[in-house]
Amino acid sequence: MNNDKNIKKSIASANINFLIGSGVSAPFLEILTNIEQKLSEAEESGDPDEKKRIKKEYFKKSIRKNICLLTIPFMSLPQQFLQYKKFYKTINALILQRESSLLSKQVNIFTTNVDIFSEIALEDTGIEFNDGFHGRFNPKYSIGNFKKSYYKTSLHYENTSEIPVFNVIKLHGSVSWCTEDKNIKLDKDLKLVKEISNSSDDKFKENYDKLMIVNPSKKKFRDTVLNETHYDLLRMYNNELEKENSVLFVMGFSFADEHIKELTLRAANTNPTCVIYIFVHDDSNDIYKELKDDAKNNNIRLLTEEKYNFEKINNFFFKQLNKDNQKLEDSTEINQQ
């Protein structure tokens, strides 16, 4: 694996960020090819029937199945759920192994996915995470709820240590978000998704448009609250990449979103201490090559050893790094004895 020494150093000493796209949740949730182009063309043509048809297809293939994640038995959960769990467990272990107490143990998970895979997987593993909501009985969403550190105190000796926290930052909203009195509230039972799923043809558009998600089209927004939140989250993405000594791992993301593509390249060019690793699944994606060529600091690296899907990233990459760290710890213990 090329660059492995540099990657180990980044994980041990950098501010860690991930950018996760729809390829990570596939094939359980399907990737709709050219969905933004199709929906944008339908909006420009003013054909309401075509717009509704495309949104129905998007809902059926990329949104509705989230209900299954809440209802099907644990043993029947899709393979992607298990991969999410494996990923978070491995990264959590790597963060725990960081030696410096001066480094924050927070990990930023930026994602354009609107699904609930991350939240369910993190909750199931018992790993601490922050999804931007605060409140037990009436949770409300705020950008200010992120960037909180968590500490654990020993029962016997009262030693205090920071524990890893995953900030799940959903750049395109979520199927578990709903709006109420200009606030984003948590719809943990996916009531709205269920309502849309059971909608008659006449009611589909009305109910679908209540979803707090960024639609895959040029005219992305219908809701002012979501609009403001989206741009606040993009600023947060930009700010994190502009921090000194930051690393970004890009997984299952094609950079078809122009905003995110531009922000990523700008951060690479203005912050030479930021390193960006892109796991390449499709060698024919010219956007990756363009990004690498346009990065004047030579700090965008394309990882092409495998056709990386989520399982290969877990098994041949981060899991291997974790094994290497464990071997190093074991050999150090033997030498000290």
Virtual torsion, Cα 142, 118, 25, 16, nearest 10 deg: 80
Predicted confidence (pLDDT) per residue in 239-255, tens digit: 999 999 999 999 999 99
Percent of the chain with pLDDT over 90: 56
Q: Are 32 and 65 in contact (CB under 8 A)?
A: no
Dmax (CA) for the chain in angstroms is 75
Give residues with Cβ within 8 angstroms of 51, minimum separation 6: 39, 42, 43
By CB neighbour count within 10 A (0-12 exposed, 13-18 middle, 19+ buried), where does 3 fall?
middle
pLDDT, tens digit (0-9, with 9 covering 90-100), for 264-316 = 999 999 999 999 999 998 877 899 999 999 999 999 999 998 889 999 999 98
CATH number for 325: 3.40.50.1220
pTM for the whole structure? 0.90
Nearest in space to 107 (alpha carbons), one of 148, 170, 21, 167? 167
Read off the pLDDT of each residue in 123-152 and give the average, rounded to a whole number. 89
Say if 321 falls within a structural domain. yes
What is the C-alpha to C-alpha distance for residues 111 and 103, in angstroms, rounded to an integer?
A: 23
Would 178 be classed as within a structural domain?
Answer: yes
Does 56 fall in a domain?
no
- The answer to whether position 180 is within a domain reads yes
Q: Convert the pLDDT of each residue in 108-121 to its tens digit.
A: 999 999 999 999 99
> Does residue 140 lie in a domain region?
yes
Residue span of the structural domain in which 254 resides: 4-30+79-188+223-336
Residue 218 falls inside a structural domain: no
58 belongs to a structural domain: no
Split into its structural domains, the chain has a count of 1
What is residue 336's predicted lDDT score, i.e. its pLDDT?
34
